[in-house]
Amino acid sequence: MQNTLLIIDPQNDFHSGGSLAVPGADADALRLSAWIDRESEKLHSIVVTLDTHHKLHIAHAAFWQAGNDPSARPAVFSHITSRDIEEGKWVPRNAALTRYCIE
């Protein structure tokens, strides 16, 4: 049997002083490093994934415009529902993505 360690999105920004600092991230990284040192002979591979975002992503305000004012953008952390899109409250700037957004 081969064992793989999967490390998901270990960003520097999650550590002390980072813009997205998470309490305990530094201690978690130290524990993980120590665990890898102890268990390395049992590991076949280590895979690290990184979270990426496209410049124009559905979660960004710039993706959206108000149905009645194309220059208006939603506020940060706005909750946009399928109904909002169907009713035209918020629509994607690229109309070809409307069905995708509703789904």
What are the residue ranges spanned by the domains of the chain? 3-49, 61-102
User: Cβ(72)–Cβ(80) under 8 Å?
Assistant: no
pLDDT, tens only, 44-78: 999 999 887 777 789 889 999 999 999 999 998 89
β-pairing verdict for 90-92 and 64-66? antiparallel
Tokens 């102890």 map to which residue? 38
CA distance 40 to 61: 44
Coil, helix or strand at residue 58: coil
pLDDT given at position 76: 87
pLDDT given at position 52: 78
The pTM for the full model equals 0.53
pLDDT given at position 1: 80
Amino acid identity, position 81: T
Amino acid identity, position 65: Q
Task: Inform me whether the pLDDT recorded for 6 exceeds 90.
Answer: yes
Per-residue buried b or exposed e for 24-42, using 16+ beta carbons within 10 Å of the residue's own CB: ebeeeeeeeeeeeeeeeee
